[in-house]
C-alpha cells in the first residue's frame, strides 16, 4: 500500500483564501484584524518562523506589527511591551516567539498576554477552556492537525489515536483535541516501554518528538493516518520530520510530509485565531 499524502500546504491555502475574503468583509465594516509579534534575539529558526507568520498576514490582509528586541532585553521591559499591545485597540492578537532567553520567565510572559488576545492559545485561561471544551482560541499546531485529519476525509471518532510527545504546545493539547473528537487516546513519551507495540495499535499516529526520522515502518499499523509534526535539520542540511517518510509511506494509509505538512497549518490557524479575535473584540459573532 502507498499512502495518500496529505498536503498541509494545499489545505492551508484553501483556508487562507477563505480568510482573505473574511478579512475583506471585516474591512468593509471598519475592522482590520491586527497581529503583534515580538521576537527576542537572533535565533535563525525563530526569525524564519516569524517571517512565515508575517507573510501569512500579508497574504490574508491582516495588519501585522513586528517588534525585534535584542536578547539582553529585561523581563520587565518585555512585560511592558506586552502590556502596551494588551491596551492597543489596533492589535487583536499577540504572539511572543518562543524560545526566550534563559533570564526571562516564559511563564511570566505568557501570563502577561491578555487571554482574549492570546491567539497562540498558550495562556492558562485558554488551555483550561480547551480542556473543558469551552469556546477559546485553540493552540495552533494541535488545531491544524485536527483540521488536516478532518479535511483528508477521515473520521476521528472511535479511532485509536496515539500521540508520541507530551509537550504543552503539541503533545498534550493535540491528545486533548483528539479526545474531544471522540478518539480513544494514548499518549506515549520518552519513558514509554516498547514504543512500537503501542504505536502499532494506532489508527491515527501523531508524532511530535523532535528526533529526525525516528519513526520507521516497524512502528506503523498498516493503513494508519500518520501526522508528522517534527521539524529537524538533517546532517545533510535537509529539513526532515520525525517520521521516515519514504518507508512509512509504504505502510500507512495517509501521511503528512515535511516540509509542507503540519507547518503551514500552524501558521494558518494563527491567522484564523487573529481574525476570530478581531471579531470577538468588535462584539461580532464568531465561528
Ligand atoms: P518537546 O521537546 O517539547 O517534546 C518532545 C516530546 O517527545 C517529549 O514529550 C518527550 O518525552 C518525547 N520524546 C523524546 N524522545 C522520545 C523517545 N525516544 N521516545 C518517545 N518519546 C520521546 O518538543 P515539541 O513538542 O515542542 O516539538 C516536537 C517537534 O515538533 C519538534 O521537532 C518541533 O520542532 C516540532 N514542532 C513543529 C511545529 C510545526 O508547526 N510544524 C510546531 C511545534 C513544534 P518526555 O516528555 O518524556 O521528555
Nearest protein Cα to ligand 1, atom 6 = 165
Q: Are 84 and 189 contained in the same domain?
A: no
Q: What is the pLDDT of residue 108?
A: 98
Answer for the pair 202, 248: CB distance below 8 angstroms, yes or no.
no
Q: Which atom of ligand 1 is nearest to the CA of 265?
A: 40
CA of 166 to the centre of ligand 1 (A): 7
Nearest protein Cα to ligand 1, atom 5 = 209
Answer for the pair 249, 2: CB distance below 8 angstroms, yes or no.
yes
In a domain, 212, yes or no: yes
> Per residue in 131-140, pLDDT tens?
999 999 999 9
Nearest protein Cα to ligand 1, atom 16 = 190
In a domain, 15, yes or no: no
Q: Which three cell numbers stand for residue 123?
A: 495562556
Q: Are 158 and 253 contained in the same domain?
A: yes
Q: What is the pLDDT of residue 1?
A: 74
Q: Are 35 and 90 contained in the same domain?
A: yes
Q: Which atom of ligand 1 is nearest to the CA of 266?
A: 40
CA of 219 to the centre of ligand 1 (A): 17
Where among 114, 129, 156 does a domain terminate?
114
Where among 99, 114, 129 does a domain terminate?
114
- CA dihedral for 184, 133, 143, 45, sign (positive or negative): negative
Q: What is the pLDDT of residue 284?
A: 83
Query: pTM of this prediction?
Result: 0.96
In order, the DSSP letters of 254-278 are: EE--SSSSHHHHHHHHHHHHHHHHH
Q: Which three cell numbers stand for residue 274?
A: 487573529
Residue 285 has pLDDT above 90, yes or no: no
In a domain, 135, yes or no: no
In a domain, 133, yes or no: no
Q: Residues lining ligand 1, CB < 6 A? A: 141, 164-167, 169-171, 188-192, 195, 208-211, 229-232, 262-263, 266
Count of alpha carbons within 13 angstroms of residue 13, beta-carbon side = 6
- DSSP, res 243: B
User: What is the CATH number for 253?
Assistant: 3.40.50.720
Answer for the pair 184, 139: CB distance below 8 angstroms, yes or no.
no
Q: Which atom of ligand 1 is nearest to the CA of 232?
A: 32
The backbone torsions φ and ψ at residue 37, rounded to the nearest 5 degrees and listed phi first, read: -120, 130
Q: State the total domains in the chain.
A: 2
Answer for the pair 239, 263: CB distance below 8 angstroms, yes or no.
no
Give the mean model confidence (pLDDT) for residues 206-214: 98
Q: Are 156 and 214 contained in the same domain?
A: yes
In a domain, 233, yes or no: yes
CA of 167 to the centre of ligand 1 (A): 6
Identify which of 12, 164, 165 to mutate to test ligand 1's pocket (most ligand atoms within 8 A of the CB).
165
Q: Are 146 and 213 contained in the same domain?
A: yes
Q: What is the pLDDT of residue 235?
A: 87
Q: Which residue's entry shows cell 498536503?
A: 7
Residues assigned a catalytic role: 53, 97, 120
Give the mean model confidence (pLDDT) for residues 33-48: 96
CA of 189 to the centre of ligand 1 (A): 9
In a domain, 214, yes or no: yes
Q: Are 97 and 171 contained in the same domain?
A: no
Give kind and range of the element (H or E) at residue 68: strand 63-69
Q: What is the pLDDT of residue 113?
A: 98
- DSSP, res 227: E
Q: Which atom of ligand 1 is nearest to the CA of 208?
A: 28
Q: Structural domain of residue 144, as residue ranges?
A: 140-263
Q: Are 159 and 234 contained in the same domain?
A: yes
Q: Are 37 and 87 contained in the same domain?
A: yes
In a domain, 4, yes or no: no
The proportion of the chain whose per-residue pLDDT surpasses 70, expressed as a percent, equals: 99
Q: Are 102 and 144 contained in the same domain?
A: no
Q: Are 209 and 251 contained in the same domain?
A: yes
> Per residue in 4-16, pLDDT tens?
999 999 999 999 9
Residue 58 has pLDDT above 80, yes or no: yes
Give the mean model confidence (pLDDT) for residues 72-87: 98
Where among 114, 132, 161 does a domain terminate?
114
CA of 210 to the centre of ligand 1 (A): 4
Q: Which three cell numbers stand for residue 128?
A: 483550561
Q: What is the pLDDT of residue 283?
A: 87
Identify which of 120, 146, 162, 229 to mutate to test ligand 1's pocket (most ligand atoms within 8 A of the CB).
229
Q: Are 153 and 259 contained in the same domain?
A: yes
Identify which of 209, 213, 264 to mutate to test ligand 1's pocket (most ligand atoms within 8 A of the CB).
209
Nearest protein Cα to ligand 1, atom 47 = 190
CA of 170 to the centre of ligand 1 (A): 8
Q: What is the pLDDT of residue 174?
A: 98
User: What is the CATH number for 54?
Assistant: 3.40.50.10860
> Per residue in 258-271, pLDDT tens?
999 999 999 999 99
In a domain, 285, yes or no: no
Q: Are 164 and 104 contained in the same domain?
A: no
Amino acid at each position: 500500500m502507498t499512502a495518500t499524502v496529505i498536503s498541509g500546504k494545499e489545505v492551508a491555502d484553501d483556508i487562507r483564501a477563505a480568510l482573505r475574503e473574511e478579512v475583506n468583509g471585516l474591512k468593509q465594516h471598519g475592522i482590520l484584524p491586527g497581529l503583534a509579534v515580538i521576537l527576542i534575539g537572533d535565533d535563525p529558526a525563530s526569525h524564519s518562523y516569524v517571517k512565515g507568520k508575517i507573510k501569512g498576514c500579508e497574504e490574508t490582509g491582516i495588519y501585522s506589527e513586528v517588534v525585534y528586541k535584542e536578547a539582553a532585553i529585561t523581563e520587565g521591559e518585555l512585560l511592558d511591551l506586552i502590556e502596551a499591545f494588551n491596551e492597543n485597540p489596533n492589535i487583536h492578537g499577540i504572539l511572543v516567539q518562543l524560545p526566550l532567553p534563559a533570564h526571562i520567565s516564559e511563564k511570566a510572559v505568557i501570563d502577561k498576554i491578555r487571554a482574549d488576545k492570546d491567539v497562540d492559545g498558550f495562556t492558562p485561561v485558554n488551555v483550561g477552556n480547551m480542556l473543558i471544551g469551552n469556546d477559546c482560541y485553540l493552540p495552533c499546531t494541535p488545531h491544524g492537525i485536527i483540521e488536516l485529519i478532518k479535511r483528508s476525509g477521515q473520521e476521528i471518532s472511535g479511532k485509536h489515536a496515539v500521540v508520541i510527545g507530551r509537550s504543552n504546545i503539541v503533545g498534550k493539547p493535540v491528545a486533548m483535541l483528539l479526545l474531544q473528537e471522540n478518539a480513544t487516546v494514548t499518549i506515549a513519551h520518552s519513558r514509554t516501554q516498547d514504543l512500537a507495540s503501542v504505536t502499532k495499535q494506532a489508527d491515527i499516529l501523531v508524532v511530535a518528538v523532535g528526533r529526525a526520522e525516528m519513526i520507521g515502518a516497524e512502528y506503523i499499523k498498516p493503513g494508519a493516518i500518520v501526522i508528522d509534526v517534527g521539524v529537524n535539520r538533517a546532517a545533510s542540511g535537509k529539513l526532515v520530520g520525525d517520521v521516515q517518510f519514504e518507508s512509512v509511506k509504504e505502510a500507512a494509509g495517509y501521511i503528512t510530509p515535511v516540509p509542507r505538512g503540519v507547518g503551514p497549518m500552524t501558521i494558518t490557524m494563527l491567522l484564523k485565531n487573529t481574525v476570530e479575535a478581531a471579531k470577538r473584540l468588535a462584539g461580532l459573532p464568531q465561528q
